[in-house]
Amino acid sequence: MAANSNALSGSHKIGAAALTIIGAAIALEGGYVNHRNDPGGETNMGVTVSVARENGYIGPMRALPREVAESIYYRRYLVAPGLEPIIKHDAAVTEELFDTTVNMGPARPSRWFQQSLNELCAARIGVDGKIGGQTIAAFAACQKKLGATTLCVRMLDSLDARQKAEYARLVRVNPNLGVFHKGWVRHRIGNVDRAKCGKASA
């Protein structure tokens, strides 16, 4: 077997809403790529070779099993950054945060989430990029204040605006990333349908 038991374990335990979010990211990321300008190197379903190795997969990246990718996504990009508890409050916002975390790591989208809560609802939470009980409680309180649908749309708009600005900054700093800019904006800005706002999480 190309991966150890840790890498393969747990995908069947992932909740339906989380699997839907993970599936959307995998569909967006696509299959195997190895672009010379991508600092991540070999990637399959959005999982880089270094991340795959860190999680116990030792086989060829072209053959990365989907269940391994799902397990990595769940543990590394949904559970570890503290995003999973947000699903029960708003799956659409969780999907946006998760997608951005997959794309550029957890620190920036987590800070943007906290900054947006402070701006939209005067939450006064620390912007430390660590999503925990205080941040989630602030989000729940903000939902009661603005309404779940209104907050969802405004939060998605805020997160998208910050992400788009960050893409522009990255290209200014490293012009070699310019080849990715159009695709980033096309596929990752506005990719979470606002029609999902207000729908109950599974």
Do 64 and 52 contact (CB within 8 A), yes or no? yes
Q: Tokens 């997959």 — which residue?
A: 102
From the list 169, 191, 160, 167, the residue with the least C-alpha distance to 181 is 167
Give the tens place of pLDDT for each residue, 11-37: 447 899 999 999 999 998 888 988 776
The Cα 68–Cα 74 span in angstroms is: 10
In the chain, DSSP assigns E strands to 32-33, 43-44, 47-48
The residue extents of the domains of the chain are 1-80, 89-202
Give the tens place of pLDDT for each residue, 71-102: 999 999 999 999 999 999 999 999 999 999 98
pTM of this prediction? Answer: 0.85
Give the tens place of pLDDT for each residue, 119-164: 999 999 999 999 999 999 999 999 999 999 999 999 999 999 999 9
